[in-house]
């Protein structure tokens, strides 16, 4: 038992140490962190000047709004397409549905850099280059197969008898979806949205190629690092993590194995 506690502590330190260092750099004078040859691992002084300097000297609002818009659109598109796709696959025989699911997931095995360049050339012609809809459509290549996989498992876990009973009671297809299926599968739907949103929020490869002129926040952080504006990058990174933490805490009850694997509560 003690060994398990020690393992938990070691894993906690491993995952939380980068976040702790990020907070310490953000709220410590630069002479104790990035300007120090041997920066300490404890707070020597506290300051808000780093954040004030970063947010007054560099553009944060536009990249943040673009990242938020793209991630939200990716989550919504994932549900709009993933729900009917997942329902259709859940009603197909397993020997047909599972090869189709594997085929969808194969798209995630292709490196993004390989397909991003030809897509960007086509998007220039379609006036989707450097736009929120264009970037959201490209990121769906990653998130839509995952959302469809979650929705397929979720709908497969809903007993067929519920659908048969609703049909017997005279429910139309739209009424069955609205009043029975969607409420029953709501945990899986929220899990699919959350996974899609998080993948998009942190996505970098497509963002830097498809949207280089008006970048998302991950690209803006990278640009500040390469230009030597480490304090701005640290301040932006700190704020960058806040929506993820809030969303994760708010929806943490849905981040369970049964939901991510597509199951629903009986």
pLDDT, residue 71, reads 94
Q: Is the pLDDT of residue 257 over 60?
A: no
Topology (CATH) of 51-259: MetI-like fold (1.10.3720)
The pLDDT tens digits for 131-140 are 999 999 999 9
Range with the lowest mean pLDDT among 35-44, 75-84, 135-144, 257-266?
A: 257-266
Residues 91-111 as b or e (16 or more Cβ within 10 Å = b): eeeeeebeeebeebeeeeeee
User: Which sign does the torsion angle of CA 211, 216, 221, 224 carry?
Assistant: positive
Range with the lowest mean pLDDT among 68-72, 77-81, 121-125?
A: 121-125
- Boundaries of CATH 1.10.3720.10 in the chain? 51-259
pLDDT, residue 266, reads 42
């Amino acid at each position: 038992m003690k060994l398990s506690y020690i393992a938990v502590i070691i894993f906690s330190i491993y995952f939380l140490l980068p976040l702790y260092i990020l907070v310490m750099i953000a709220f410590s004078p630069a002479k104790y962190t990035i300007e120090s040859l041997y920066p300490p691992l404890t707070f020597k002084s506290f300051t808000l000047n780093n954040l004030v300097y970063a947010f007054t000297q560099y553009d944060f609002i536009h990249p943040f709004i673009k990242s938020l818009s793209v991630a939200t659109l990716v989550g919504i598109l994932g549900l709009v397409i993933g729900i009917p796709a997942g329902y259709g696959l859940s009603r197909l025989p397993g020997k047909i549905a599972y090869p189709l699911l594997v085929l969808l997931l194969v798209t995630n095995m292709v490196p993004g850099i390989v397909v991003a360049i030809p897509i960007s050339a086509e998007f220039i012609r379609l006036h989707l280059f450097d736009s929120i809809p264009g970037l959201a459509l490209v990121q769906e290549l990653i998130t839509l197969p995952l959302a469809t996989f979650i929705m397929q498992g979720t709908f497969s876990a809903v007993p067929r008898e519920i659908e048969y009973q609703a049909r017997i009671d005279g429910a139309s297809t739209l009424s069955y979806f609205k009043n029975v299926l969607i409420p029953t599968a709501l945990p899986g739907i929220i899990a699919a949205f959350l996974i899609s949103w998080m993948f998009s929020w942190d996505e970098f490869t497509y963002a830097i190629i498809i949207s280089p002129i008006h970048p998302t926040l991950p690209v803006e952080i990278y640009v500040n690092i390469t230009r030597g504006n480490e304090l701005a990058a640290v301040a932006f990174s700190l704020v960058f993590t806040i929506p993820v933490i809030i969303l994760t805490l708010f929806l943490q009850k849905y981040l369970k194995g049964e939901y991510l694997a597509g199951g629903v509560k009986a």
